[in-house]
Amino acid sequence: MKGHLVSTVPVIAGRDIALPRHVAIIMDGNGRWAKKRLLPRAAGHKAGVEAVRRVTRHARAIGIEALTIYAFSSENWRRPEEEIGDLMGLLRLFIRSDLAELVRENVRLKIIGDHRRFPKDVVALIDDAVARCAANTGPILAIALNYGAQAELVRAAQRLAERLPPDQIDAAALESELETRDLPPLDLLIRTSGEHRLSNFLLWQAAYAELLFVDTLWPDFGAADLDAAVVAFGSRNRRFGGL
């Protein structure tokens, strides 16, 4: 297992804070944000993209090494076709408008999940974006697209069963087959909108992550909310099963 290490950032709340290396976010509440304002759901998703920009920029600014965002789950295909189309359109827009900034800011872009199911032009945009960021050496932005943790674990187990005898399959071997194998261990998982479940996201990786459920709807989540989450993380005593 990879070691859980934290760095220290002295700029949040005026004091030293144990900074998580890897933060993951379940970005929930776009639809409810729009409904509260009597707007179509598409408006909520558009506002959610603006929140992605705010949060990813601030995560880089405070020194978070890796940020993983749950953008489209394998279960989201159950949503109406019109909404899925809106989400694909926003993904196109985000890549086209933000790719230059990611390259300039030395961000390493990673996709987890099976994005090959997306429309061909979206797949091409994603592949081009990953390729253009491939030489970067800075913070990691991992985007979960058509991702489901149970399917990830099944695929990992199947690959291990093909090449290893049962007595050689252990936690480290399974972890080496996960899509997050080149990311730091997950330290902090945040879910917005007041829901209290993981929704098939990073189930293995979250085994010893700190979980934080906040009431803020995702489009309203910003730099101050991320700072508050980091402060909450820094106040927790992580024992990893020990005393």
pLDDT digits (tens, 9 = 90+) for 147-174: 999 999 999 999 999 999 999 999 999 9
Residues pairing with 26 in the sheet: 70, 191
For residue 165, tell me if it sits in a domain: yes
Q: Coil, strand or helix: which one is 67?
A: strand
Q: Is the pLDDT of residue 15 over 60?
A: no
pLDDT confidence of 2, banded at 50, 70, 90? low
Q: What angle do CA 11, 205, 93 make, to 5 degrees?
A: 70
| Binding region | 28-33, 41, 45, 73-75, 77, 79, 191, 197-199, 210
Nearest by Cα to 49 from 202, 221, 188: 221
pLDDT confidence of 12, banded at 50, 70, 90? low
pLDDT confidence of 218, banded at 50, 70, 90? very high
For residue 197, tell me if it sits in a domain: no
* Structure confidence at residue 14 (pLDDT): 53
Q: Side chain identity at 42, as an amino acid letter?
A: A
Q: pTM higher than 0.85 for the full model?
A: yes
Give the whole-number percent of the chain exceeding pLDDT 70.
92
For residue 229, tell me if it sits in a domain: no
For residue 85, tell me if it sits in a domain: yes
Q: Is the pLDDT of residue 11 over 70?
A: no
* Structure confidence at residue 155 (pLDDT): 96
For residue 206, tell me if it sits in a domain: no
Summarize the confidence of residues 9-18 as an average pLDDT: 58
Nearest by Cα to 71 from 19, 18, 126: 126
pLDDT confidence of 243, banded at 50, 70, 90? low
pLDDT confidence of 5, banded at 50, 70, 90? very low
Nearest by Cα to 118 from 136, 144, 156: 144
For residue 26, tell me if it sits in a domain: yes
Q: Which residue has the higher pLDDT, 8 or 100?
A: 100
Catalytically active residues, by annotation: 28, 76
* Structure confidence at residue 237 (pLDDT): 77
d(CA 148, CA 145): 9
For residue 202, tell me if it sits in a domain: no
| CATH number, residue 178 | 3.40.1180.10
Summarize the confidence of residues 127-141 as an average pLDDT: 97
The residue segments making up the domain with residue 166 are: 7-192
Q: Is the pLDDT of residue 7 over 70?
A: no
pLDDT digits (tens, 9 = 90+) for 179-204: 999 999 999 999 999 999 999 999 99
* Structure confidence at residue 220 (pLDDT): 98
Number of domains in the chain: 1
* Structure confidence at residue 9 (pLDDT): 47
| Binding region for substrate | 29-33, 41, 45, 73-75, 77, 79, 191, 197-199
* Structure confidence at residue 1 (pLDDT): 42
Q: Is the pLDDT of residue 144 over 60?
A: yes
For residue 180, tell me if it sits in a domain: yes
| Binding region for Mg(2+) | 28, 210
Q: Coil, strand or helix: which one is 160?
A: helix
